[in-house]
């Protein structure tokens, strides 16, 4: 086998593995209870584009072949709807990966507690130090815009400035990461934080950590990472 054909074969194997990891991530979202049915979507950077889950296919029916590839320079009004249509939310996946070179994967969920807060158009404030896992003193809520629209993507990018997660008003959650494992972990952590905040709010407005206290945690998290041990993913 020549060097060129060997490299091509290796690239195909890597893409197949990435497609399989996207399918696994979508199924894990269901198992964790942070997504259901055909809601939510997953993408990962691949070559000069992205791989993304298709439109209207539930996680348990996904296959490696069903995952759709799109170029990063695809226009917002491009006719991308082929036999295998990408998720209707492909615009914010494209825009996040194009704007954030450090991001390798994007996970979007409709998890219940976080979406309940987003319905009220509220941020998740610094009630717990793990809010800092998203990069700051809150998990912002982006303004409402119609699903799949460029306006929604623009709002999401603004809410994600210096953050790795945000809420979408009346919609759900976006979490990003260096890879799929990190993005999935953070999406689940956002739901845990949302549940804690809703529970704590039953006793009155929760006391919040100061910006200085959160900044110290953000600094500590910069030297921590998602570790893999015996097949289990752990957060900071």
Catalytic residue IDs: 89
On whether the CB atoms of residues 40 and 31 are closer than 8 A, the answer is no
On whether the CB atoms of residues 218 and 136 are closer than 8 A, the answer is yes
Tokens coding 94: 């494209």
Q: Is the dihedral of CA 63, 147, 96, 105 positive or negative?
A: negative
- How far is Cα 236 from Cα 220, in angstroms, rounded to an integer? 9
On whether the CB atoms of residues 141 and 117 are closer than 8 A, the answer is yes
Vertex 44 angle, CA 42 and 50, to 5°: 105
- How far is Cα 8 from Cα 34, in angstroms, rounded to an integer? 37
Tokens coding 166: 């945000």
- How far is Cα 196 from Cα 8, in angstroms, rounded to an integer? 48
Name residue 227's beta-bridge partners: 234
Please provide the DSSP assignment of 108-154 as one string: EE--HHHHHHHHTT--EESSSGGGGGGTSSEE-EEPP--TT-HHHHH
């Amino acid at each position: 086998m020549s060097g060129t054909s060997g490299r091509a074969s290796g690239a195909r194997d890597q893409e197949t593995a990435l497609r399989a990891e996207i399918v696994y991530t979508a199924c894990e979202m269901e198992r964790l209870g942070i997504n259901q049915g055909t809601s939510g979507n997953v993408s990962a950077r691949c070559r000069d584009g992205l791989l993304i889950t298709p439109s209207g296919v539930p996680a348990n029916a996904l296959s490696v072949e069903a995952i759709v590839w799109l170029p990063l320079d695809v226009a917002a009004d491009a006719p991308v709807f082929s036999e295998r249509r990408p998720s209707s939310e492909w615009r914010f996946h494209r825009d996040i990966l194009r704007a954030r070179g450090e991001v390798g994967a994007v996970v979007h969920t409709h998890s219940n507690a976080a979406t309940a807060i987003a319905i009220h158009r509220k941020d998740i404030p610094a009630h717990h130090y793990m809010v800092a896992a998203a990069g700051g003193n809150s998990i912002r809520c982006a303004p409402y815009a119609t699903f799949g629209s460029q306006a929604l993507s623009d709002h999401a990018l603004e809410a994600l400035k210096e953050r790795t997660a945000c809420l979408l008003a009346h919609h759900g959650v976006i979490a990003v990461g260096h890879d799929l494992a990190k993005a999935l972990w953070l999406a689940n952590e956002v739901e845990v934080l949302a549940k804690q905040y809703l529970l704590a709010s039953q006793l009155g407005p929760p006391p919040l950590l100061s910006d200085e206290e959160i900044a110290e945690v953000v600094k500590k998290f910069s030297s921590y990472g998602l570790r893999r041990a015996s097949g289990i993913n752990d957060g900071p």
